[in-house]
Chains A and B, each alone.
Chain A
Amino acid sequence: MKISFPRMGYSYIAFKWLVENMGHECVVPPEPSNRTLDLGVRYAPEFACIPFKILLGTYIEVAQMGAQAVITSGGMGPCRAGYYWVMHKYLLEEMNLPLKIIAMEMPLLNLGDFWKKIDLLRRDGGISLKELLRVLKITWAKVKSIDDVEIRSHQVRPRELKRGETTLAINAGLAFIDAAQNEEEIREARQEALSLLDRVPCDEQRQPLKIGIIGEIYVVLEPAANHYIQLLLGEMGVETDRSIYLSAYARKNTIVNLEGDLFSVARPYLNEAPIGGHGVNSIAETILYARHGFDGVVQLAPFSCIPEIVAKSIIPTVSREYDIPVQTLFIDEQTGRAGVQTRMEAFVDLLQWRRDRGIHKKKVFSL
């Protein structure tokens, strides 16, 4: 079967490997472009959020490229993303596009259903159970390595001497990981990619501003959806830390890792969790970034995203009490790159001004 999936950042490298090694043909989803968004906007409900529209556009594109099925995620609410595959199915039916949607509901809720879908894919691809486990393990290793490399790139980029070198280095590094076929090769590829980044000529004396990126998972993870905001900030000389990585659950070395902790951090401000999506997380992450001495926080969310609207209504209080500036960007199909850039430039100016006057050091918080 020709299989595709939604694109989120660099993770397509790992998922491509997964699909191919399960014995299927992979249609790699193209990076979301204006055309993707146009297609999505044309057929999607007006008030659906931008991830819905980009995904729908992607599905139409991959169907035109010959894909017969897409694998996507389900959910149990209250965020509406858990219902997206149903609506996508309805809309594709209305368009007479013969694309099958295979939605993976959370295994915790319905293990039987989850296993049935995986097993069907496995048997259809003609691989053994043992082989499947090996493939899943390697995919996970790839996801982790990709995230490691990306995290490093966001630390190197603000210090690079020649603009664009980091981007060249990470692209070369990711190609190594793409080519790796087993765990040993992935380990080597990861090392090679990291050392490529470490060899980028840097100004070691620079103390860049630090901004935490929080918000809704899709617009945080997919650069094409957030107008390459981490690249933009990096090239403006700002170090960014992102709250969400696909491999975050297995990480201990990032600032934001454990969900349970986040809920208790947010409790004084929002006495309910979860409220869907990353609503509670956004509030807690603002607090965590403040405690870790970050200069500011950028909240990214799709226009009309319900959990992030709740978070946005609470964040001004958090921002005041923890003395950390927060810039919210609601993104929809009307958002332009120049608009994002202008606001980021102004925000960075403000943060620099605060730092130059030592304002951000006035309050010290205990960890």
Chain B
Amino acid sequence: MYTVGIPRSLAYFFFLPLWKTFITELGHEVIESPPTSRAILDRGVKEAVNDACIPIKLYHGHAAHLAENCDFLFCPRLVSVRKHGDFGSETFCPKFLGLPDMVRLALKDLPPLIDTRIDLKQPGGGSQEAAGEIGLRLGNSPAQVKRALRLGMAAQGYFHRLCQQGILADDALQAVFNGEKIYPPQSHGQDITIAVVGYPYAIYDPYINAGLLKILQQQGVRIVTQDMLSDRELNRQDSKLPKTLFWYFSNRAVYGGLHFMSDRQVDGIIHVTAFACGPDSMVDRLLEIEAKRHATPYLPIAVDEHTGEAGVRTRVEAFLDMLRYKRRRR
């Protein structure tokens, strides 16, 4: 039995149910790094290449934090998770593609990385093979791997179903792993619905966005995110674009944004983006122009190492004031 560390950053916020269930069911212990803190951020800023975006720096920080306490560091190379896009070539941001190498060369004294290549766009998928490779590294039999993968997929599916009932990802994760019964949030006194779109690691990491979701909840806002939509609802938006974007998480954010704009169930859209994020330089302006054309109020929030709670709160409050003013005038 080994101890496998999973850094709490990037795809963690989206694929944890699968990853953790799979590894646990193989009979190993999973340790997650603690929620992002100043110390983890500082460590990441110190170790990572200075031009990287904050999520990548945080990943380095989380990985460094785990390094001493685990036998393996789980850092899969996410290349694709489906066949999608104009050329069937949907992938992840180049930084995801190079992540295991970046981490390996930046950090000293790392345990061995589980850097299995996850490339599911080819016919037949490839998740069995990828799972088998991980199982081999951890010394498990093919039968164990098959069973663990099935359970992992089930957990991931359960997570998505919970999210699609309107439960925020954080609560859904709790429910998946603690087995608590959880119910869709009831609206009490929430007068405004806001769609928060962006990458899971930008919207669900409260440290990165200075507690944006909490601020919104305190202000009596009902929050929806792109993860509360089914793949079908999301992919339907693809026909509205002249060309599909190349990145999985970006496509989800854009489709989510477009869905909420045409659906007219939301009062406004907040897009959370990281400073100097490459794909988001496209995503953000695309959403801004589309929001203008759909007459949907739109607020981009760019976060970096220096983002403070007061700054985010001020902008959110101003945005909400505007939305409420608009509603009263109607």
Contact = CB atoms under 8 A, between A and B. Distances in A.
A313 B282 contact: no
Q: Which among A52, A78, A80, A307 has the highest number of chain B CB atoms within 10 Å?
A: A78
Nearest to B284: A45
B24 interface: no
Interface in B24-65: 48-49, 51-52
Nearest to B292: A94
Interface in A55-103: 74, 76-80, 82-83, 85-87, 89-91, 94
Given A47-B280, A272-B101, A305-B278, A83 B243 contact: yes
Given A86-B242, A306-B278, A314-B101, A79 B286 contact: no
Interface in A220-279: 269-272, 275-277, 279
A110 interface: yes
Nearest to B60: A313
Contacts of B243: 74, 83, 85-86
Contact of A269 (B86, B105, B277): B105
Interface residues of A, number: 45
Contacts of B102: 310, 313-314
Given A277-B94, A307-B94, A80 B79 contact: no
Interface residues of B, number: 43
A304 interface: yes
A85 B243 CA distance: 10
B136 interface: no
Interface string B277-296: 11111101110010000000
A322 B52 CA distance: 24
A46 interface: yes
A46 B300 CA distance: 12
A46 B304 CA distance: 14
Contact of B97 (A46, A74, A83, A272): A272
Contacts of A105: 86
A48 interface: yes
Interface string B85-107: 11101111111011011100110
Given A269-B101, A271-B100, A86 B241 contact: yes
Given A87-B286, A272-B79, A313-B52, A76 B87 contact: yes
A78 B49 contact: no
Contacts of B284: 45, 47
Contacts of B282: 45, 48, 80, 83, 86-87
B117 interface: yes
A144 B282 CA distance: 34
B6 interface: no
Contact of A78 (B92, B275, B281): B92
B77 interface: yes
Given A47-B278, A83-B282, A313-B49, A271 B101 contact: yes
A215 to B, nearest CB: 13
B247 interface: yes
Contacts of A91: 285, 289
A279 B105 CA distance: 16
Interface in B68-94: 77, 79, 85-87, 89-94
Q: Which among B95, B97, B285 has the highest number of chain A CB atoms within 10 Å?
A: B97
A47 B277 contact: yes
Interface string A299-330: 00001111101101110110000000000001
Contacts of A76: 86-87, 89, 246
Nearest to B106: A313
B289 A78 contact: no
B247 A310 contact: no
A284 B26 CA distance: 38
A354 B101 CA distance: 30
B245 interface: yes
Contacts of A367: none
Contacts of A79: 94
Contact of A304 (B49, B247, B276): B276
Interface in B243-301: 243, 245-247, 275-282, 284-286, 289
Given A77-B247, A90-B286, A272 B98 contact: yes
A241 to B, nearest CB: 25
A272 B106 CA distance: 17
Given A45-B285, A47-B276, A90-B286, A276 B101 contact: no
A133 interface: no
A168 B319 CA distance: 59
A273 to B, nearest CB: 9
A338 interface: no
A271 B99 CA distance: 10
A346 interface: no
A87 B90 CA distance: 18
A74 B280 CA distance: 18
Interface of A: 45-49, 52, 74, 76-80, 82-83, 85-87, 89-91, 94, 105, 109-110, 269-272, 275-277, 279, 303-307, 309-310, 312-314, 316-317, 330
21 contacts: A47-B277, A49-B278, A77-B245, A78-B94, A80-B281, A83-B245, A85-B243, A86-B282, A87-B285, A269-B105, A270-B98, A271-B77, A275-B98, A304-B51, A304-B276, A305-B278, A309-B52, A310-B98, A312-B49, A313-B105, A317-B105
Interface of B: 48-49, 51-52, 77, 79, 85-87, 89-95, 97-98, 100-102, 105-106, 115, 117, 241-243, 245-247, 275-282, 284-286, 289
Given A83-B246, A279-B98, 19 more contacts: A46-B281, A77-B245, A80-B246, A80-B278, A80-B281, A82-B246, A83-B245, A86-B241, A90-B285, A94-B289, A271-B77, A271-B101, A272-B101, A272-B117, A303-B276, A306-B94, A306-B279, A310-B94, A310-B97
